[in-house]
């Protein structure tokens, strides 16, 4: 696993880093009528990677609660991202990654997640001198407290495909 250090980057490379909580972006909750898990959204990996590149991201890590499929692992690594599959909730790994990037000298961070559990970490990171945190998340599933904690928010619903939820009225 790559963890950046202050000495590993020259001053002109210390621009923007990102941390992606892929499970948070793709999770759609539970259907209130049936109690069934809603189908997960599908992330446009190439589209997100291009948008992050266009934004100036030079380092990034994709975190996931469980193992990546081999193909997804190869794609993310091929696009220059590190991956972390923690085999449990990855929230702590997301926070540690954000802190490591700040310690390495990055001053612009993008957190691709909308979970309110990240609010405290974003508030703490923003207290560091000249550090900005952007949130990239889905409209309608981004915590209001996280929105207030961030410098800015970008909604990336256009980079997600949402499978139709099964109708409770469909016959089996």
- Which residue segments constitute the domains of the chain, with CATH numbers given? 13-27+38-113+144-162 (3.40.50)
Of 172, 163, 165, residue with least CA distance to 41: 163
Sheet strands (E) in 71-172: 82-85, 108-112, 132-137, 152-155, 160-161
Copy the structure tokens of residue 43.
């992330």
pLDDT at res. 83: 94
In tens, the pLDDT along 16-28 reads: 999 999 999 998 7
Grouping H, G, I as helix, E, B as strand and the rest as coil, residue 57 is: strand
- Percent of the chain having pLDDT more than 90? 65
d(CA 141, CA 143): 6
> Are the beta carbons of 108 and 16 closer than 8 angstroms?
yes
Averaged pLDDT for residues 5-18: 61
Confidence band of 30 (pLDDT split at 50, 70, 90): confident
Grouping H, G, I as helix, E, B as strand and the rest as coil, residue 110 is: strand
Q: Which of 2-11, 34-43, 103-112 comes out lowest in average pLDDT?
A: 2-11
* Beta-carbon contacts of residue 150 (< 8 Å; ≥ 6 apart): 111, 122, 133, 134, 135
pLDDT at res. 166: 60
């Amino acid at each position: 696993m790559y963890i950046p250090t202050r000495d590993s980057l020259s001053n002109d490379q210390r621009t923007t880093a990102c941390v992606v909580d892929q499970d948070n972006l793709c999770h759609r909750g539970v259907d209130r009528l049936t109690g069934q898990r809603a189908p997960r959204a599908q992330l446009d990996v190439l589209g997100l990677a291009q948008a992050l590149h266009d934004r100036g991201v030079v380092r990034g890590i994709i975190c996931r609660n469980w193992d990546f499929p081999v193909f997804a692992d190869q794609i993310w690594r091929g696009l220059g991202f590190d991956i972390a599959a923690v085999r449990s909730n990855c929230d702590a790994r997301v926070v540690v990654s954000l802190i490591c990037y700040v310690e390495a000298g990055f001053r612009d961070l993008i957190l691709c997640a909308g979970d309110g559990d990240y609010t405290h970490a974003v508030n703490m990171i923003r207290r560091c001198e000249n550090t900005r945190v952007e949130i990239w998340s889905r409209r309608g599933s981004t915590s209001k407290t996280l929105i207030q904690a961030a410098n800015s928010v970008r909604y990336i619903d256009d980079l997600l495909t949402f499978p139709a939820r099964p109708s409770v009225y469909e016959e089996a």
